C-alpha cells in the first residue's frame, strides 16, 4: 500500500473521543499525525468568540494543522444532516459562513464540508434543491476569497434520515448545478464508507470523477472501523487515487475498534510521512 504519497489526517470528532475535544489534538500529535479535520465543533452556527479562540489556541498548542472543517449542519446529535436545503435556515447558513471565514483566516484551513440537508415532506423538492444551490453558491463565494473550496458528500442510506445524496453521481450533479450557477470551487468528498454502503464501486468512482475529488475520508465497510475490519480493498483504492493524480489528504474518519491510539496499525509506518518513526 503506497500510502506514503498521501498525507494522513485524523478526524478528531470521531477519533479520540475518550478525551474532551480540545484535548484530542495533543493526542493526535502524540500518535504521530500533524493534521486534523473536524465536524462543526460548536452547538450553533455562530458560537461565541471565546469558543473559536479556544479552538484555535488548542490547535496551535498541539502544533497540528486544521485541514478540513464541516459547516454548521444543524443538530447532528438529534439526527439533522445539514440545513443548506431548508429555506428558513438560510440566515444561519450565511452567518455561519462568516465564522468559517474567520476560522480559516486563523488556521489556514481551506476545505469545508457542506452537508446538504435532509428531505422534508412540507416543502416541494424543487424548492429544497433551489435553496441548497443558492446557499452553496453563496458560501462558495465567501470561501473563494481566500482560496477555499466546498466539499459535497454522499451519506449512507438508512443511517442519516432522508438525505438525498447517496452516490458519487448524486453529488456530482450538485457540483454541476452550482458550477452552472457561477461557482466552480466545489469538489466531491470521497468517503470510502458511505460510498461503499450505497453500492458505489470505489475504483469506478475514481475512474469517472477522479478530477473532481477534493478530499478523501477512510473507514472500512461494514462497521465503519479502521481499514482491515471490513471488506474494502484499500490497496486498490489508494492506488487508483494516486494514479488519478489525487495528492490531498486522506483523513481517518472511522470509529476505532479499541482505543483510538491503538487503531493505526494498518498504516505502514515506513511509508507514511505523517507518522513518527
Going by their DSSP bridges, the two strands 65-70 and 186-191 should be labelled as: unpaired
Instruction: Round to whole Å and give the CA distance between 113 and 72.
Output: 9
pLDDT of amino acid 275: 40
Instruction: Round to whole Å and give the CA distance between 274 and 277.
Output: 9
Which domain covers residue 177, as residue numbers?
3-271
Options 51, 105, 253, 262, the catalytic residue: 253
Domains contained in the chain, number: 1
pLDDT of amino acid 14: 98
* 276 within domain boundaries: no
Give the domain CATH number at 19: 3.20.20.150
Q: Are 9 and 35 in contact (CB under 8 A)?
A: yes
Bridge partners of 218, per DSSP, are: 252
Segment 119-175, tens digit of pLDDT: 999 999 999 999 999 999 999 999 999 999 999 999 999 999 999 999 999 999 999
Instruction: Round to whole Å and give the CA distance between 139 and 127.
Output: 18
pLDDT of amino acid 66: 98
Q: Which residues of the chain have pLDDT under 50?
A: 1-2, 271-277
Which residue has cell 470505489? 202
pTM for this one? 0.94
Options 153, 159, 162, 262, the catalytic residue: 153
* 277 within domain boundaries: no
Q: Is 153 a catalytic residue?
A: yes
Is 138 buried (19+), middle (13-18) or exposed (0-12) by CB count in 10 A? middle
Amino acid at each position: 500500500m503506497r500510502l506514503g504519497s498521501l498525507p494522513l489526517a485524523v478526524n478528531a470528532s470521531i477519533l479520540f473521543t475518550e478525551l474532551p475535544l480540545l484535548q484530542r489534538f495533543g493526542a493526535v500529535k502524540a500518535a504521530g499525525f500533524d493534521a486534523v479535520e473536524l465536524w462543526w465543533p460548536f452547538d450553533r452556527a455562530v458560537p461565541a468568540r471565546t469558543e473559536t479562540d479556544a479552538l484555535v489556541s488548542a490547535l496551535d498548542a498541539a502544533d497540528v494543522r486544521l485541514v478540513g472543517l464541516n459547516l454548521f449542519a444543524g443538530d447532528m446529535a438529534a439526527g439533522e444532516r445539514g440545513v443548506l436545503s431548508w429555506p428558513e435556515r438560510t440566515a444561519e447558513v450565511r452567518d455561519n459562513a462568516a465564522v468559517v471565514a474567520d476560522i480559516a483566516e486563523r488556521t489556514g484551513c481551506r476545505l469545508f464540508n457542506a452537508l446538504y440537508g435532509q428531505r422534508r415532506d412540507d416543502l416541494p423538492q424543487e424548492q429544497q434543491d433551489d435553496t441548497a444551490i443558492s446557499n452553496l453558491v453563496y458560501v462558495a463565494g465567501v470561501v473563494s476569497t481566500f482560496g477555499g473550496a466546498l466539499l459535497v458528500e454522499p451519506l449512507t442510506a438508512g443511517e442519516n434520515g432522508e438525505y438525498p445524496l447517496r452516490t458519487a453521481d448524486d453529488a456530482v450533479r450538485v457540483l454541476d448545478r452550482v458550477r452552472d450557477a457561477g461557482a466552480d470551487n466545489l469538489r466531491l468528498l470521497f468517503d470510502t464508507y458511505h460510498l461503499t454502503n450505497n453500492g458505489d464501486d470505489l475504483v469506478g468512482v475514481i475512474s469517472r470523477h477522479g478530477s473532481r475529488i477534493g478530499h478523501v475520508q477512510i473507514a472500512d465497510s461494514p462497521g465503519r472501523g479502521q481499514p482491515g475490519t471490513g471488506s474494502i480493498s484499500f490497496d486498490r483504492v489508494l492506488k487508483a487515487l494516486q494514479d488519478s493524480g489525487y495528492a490531498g489528504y486522506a483523513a481517518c474518519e472511522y470509529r476505532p475498534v479499541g482505543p483510538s491510539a491503538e487503531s493505526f496499525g494498518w498504516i505502514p509506518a515506513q511509508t507514511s510521512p505523517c507518522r513518527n518513526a
